[in-house]
A and B are shown apart, each in its own frame.
Chain A
């Protein structure tokens, strides 16, 4: 009986050690996933009109960003560990609920909210969505500054998807968070969104077709 126990204990320990090593290796190979946080996130939509520039704001960007295993953001370094041919292998999906974007105008902001929601065909299309297809690092990177990329991806507004490209910056925040910032220029008519043209002032009043979606998006590493 003692012999059986003597043999069984080391075998079991060996099996546990092997499982531990396998798990560690698997973790090392697993992609690094960052999940959207509800704090320190701001999205602004800025536009023009023949009368006045306007802006709407929201605090929700949902979704995630997933990088290939081994990617580390250390702004003290000249480059990013895990970079291949100057590009980061990444998957990203960002969603912005349209009704969470509000005007902060002093007067009747709900009118502006409603106009915008109507133009973007909410509630049929509830979200603005963005998926990244390529992240190319702008080099050289100045140590201490955020990493800057040329991002390519697909932007969906009011059910219409277009390929877009615009610069983004990734800044590590503390040990386990990153902040992604950028500004996406958007032509409303490209998405079937008719720029509001209020029936006022002999029809001279018109919103500009070009708007800018400016965002600061904070994400936290999942199970760091």
Chain B
């Protein structure tokens, strides 16, 4: 049994015990259960109690490459805690390459194997689709899926051009009965929702600078039995089709950092991006650089003067991926599902950090910002203990999509059964209200966040390739 299975499989006794305790705490009205609202060190186990959605959601997965197969494997983890019945059964998989289709089919033996996404979209039993194809193919598939009445999870970036990303966003906005989720994983990660309110409460002092990196050694080049297939596989190495390292890898960092800095409403949307790029190690004829560095600047407001430096490389794997938020009172390191705070000597005492676990990083000491990271825990688990959020970011993103799709479908069905299916303001308001309620429980990136991040990625890639500063005018982000 994998560690993920261990955390998602409950027997009925455990399930009832957990839900009962959570219900009691909820009824007490004032006891913080959710890690997002708790101070670091507070218990977070109750937030992990699995509550099944109103009904299972039948999936179709389009694109059966490495990531598509990871998605199928992750979806298989969602099971009813009592009956163990699948909550997100994959009923159809699609890829035009037979080898990948067969491998995906082995992971989802009950799924129908199809070589054309239109055939998959024609299946009435498919309620939701995951679009895990190369980025240039997203637009046509997403538009057709929404037209076919399917909930859509689209990998990020939404598209390799701003125009196509806007087409997707417009269609998603118009499809009020459906859920559209952009595959920006951090938006659904419980650790982020635990961390953000705490950071925004002023622990950093004044925002000074942000650094983020994505480093992984590997050429990106892939081989296949035929020349045509090899060319098809290596779309990411060609500028005409790829958004480069900024789009294909750093988009999650761009989204997370600008979200933390306030997003478009609170001065967190950059006003310009400058960049440089080069091909250092993988000089194999590609025209997409293997190393990129971009600097984002912010407009007048709370982040005036702040620079966000983001770099990515396929030539060195050192320190992998992280974000570092530098503030006048403290700095925060976010790595995977963990975070640490490094205080300035003159920063005010917050109080709770006395009881929090501390981890050493060379000469620095970091206060752990992971829920449940008390000294008592440190004594029993040792330094840098296990995260209370053990699943992958993809798990939480797909969990949110599944639950939200199920709840929105239920809201639509209940409305139609009792009133009518005519597109009226009342119908839209009802679905919007239910959508808001479920998103509060299962936060996720929608079309707006997907468009914002895609614009940043496309423009950062443009700046890095041209080695100049690119203005990020407001109209770029508007539909």
Residues of A within 8 A of B (CB): 36-39, 49, 51-52, 54, 59-63, 95, 97, 99-100, 102-103, 105-115, 117, 123, 196-201, 205
Contact = CB atoms under 8 A, between A and B. Distances in A.
Interface stretch (B49-57, B190-198, B230-238): B49-57
A216 to B, nearest CB: 16
Q: Which of B26, B52, B433: most chain A CB closer than 10 A?
A: B26
B430 A196 contact: no
Nearest to B22: A111
Interface in B403-434: 410-411, 414-415, 417-419, 424, 426-427, 430, 433
A106 B29 contact: yes
B437 interface: yes
Interface string B24-48: 1111110111100100000000110
Contacts of B430: 38, 59-60
A107 B21 contact: no
A100 B407 CA distance: 10
Given A109-B26, A115-B19, A97 B417 contact: yes
Contact of B24 (A36, A61, A205): A205
Given A52-B29, A100-B414, A107 B24 contact: no
A87 B22 CA distance: 48
Given A107-B25, A107-B26, A109-B437, 6 more contacts: A38-B426, A38-B427, A108-B25, A111-B51, A112-B23, A113-B51
18 contacts: A37-B419, A38-B415, A38-B419, A38-B424, A38-B430, A52-B27, A60-B414, A62-B417, A97-B414, A105-B27, A106-B29, A108-B49, A111-B19, A111-B49, A197-B20, A198-B24, A199-B16, A199-B20
Contact of B51 (A107, A114, A196): A114
Contacts of A117: 54
B119 interface: no
A138 B197 CA distance: 55
A163 B47 CA distance: 41
Nearest to B19: A111
Contacts, number: 106
A112 B26 contact: yes
Q: Interface size bucket, B side?
A: 35 or more
B298 to A, nearest CB: 33
A103 B51 CA distance: 14
A59 B24 contact: no
Nearest to B53: A110
B124 interface: no
Contacts of B49: 108, 111
A113 B25 CA distance: 14
Interface string B379-415: 0000000000000000000000000000000110011
Contacts of A113: 51
B222 to A, nearest CB: 42
